[in-house]
Amino acid sequence: MNEYELAVLYHPDLEIDLDKAAQKVTKIINDNGGKVTAEDNWGKRKLAYKIKGHDHALYVFYTAKLPGETVRKIESALNITDEVIRFLITKVDQKAIDKAEAAKAAKAAKAKSQREARENSSPEAPATEDVKETNEE
């Protein structure tokens, strides 16, 4: 089973009753041997251009584990689903994710070491009371 990301744009009028449409998509995935591992609802957003006459859509992103041969079946099922106005299924590139996380961790470690080096190398500033005493003398 491979990991896929599924971006679904729902009809904007479903904002109140999105649960039924989301359950329908989850059922399509489960019926084809997949399993939804995560769901991220971005809410109603303005589209860059009209899709099927709509200026807005409800964005929901799913992460699912699917057998590779069922992706076409899921695509054809989503094509005829009335609630879905657009969708995109992409395979997760785990190597790219791991590389990005390693680069992020390396950058954070470098920033931390630079911060510690600055703190250790700079002498502490004299207290304000000491400065006043020296001026008074």
Global pTM?
A: 0.68
In a domain, 128, yes or no: no
Residue 64's H or E segment, with its range, is strand 54-66
Residue 127 has pLDDT above 80, yes or no: no
Residue 120 has pLDDT above 60, yes or no: yes
Asked whether residue 51 falls in the same domain as residue 105, the answer is: no
Domain hosting residue 59, numbered range: 2-92
Asked whether residue 101 falls in the same domain as residue 117, the answer is: yes
Residues paired with 5 in a beta bridge: 63, 90
* DSSP helix/strand/coil, 44: strand
Tokens of 35: 């399993």
| The total number of structural domains that make up the chain | 2
Query: In this predicted structure, what is the pLDDT of residue 123?
Result: 59
pLDDT in tens, 91-107: 888 887 788 888 888 88
In a domain, 129, yes or no: no
In a domain, 28, yes or no: yes
DSSP letter at 39 equals E
pLDDT in tens, 8-37: 999 988 878 888 888 999 999 999 888 999
Q: How many CA atoms lie within 13 A of 76 on its CB side?
A: 5
Rounded distance between C-alpha atoms, residue 60 and residue 58, angstroms? 7
Query: In this predicted structure, what is the pLDDT of residue 30?
Result: 92
Mean pLDDT, all residues of the chain:
84
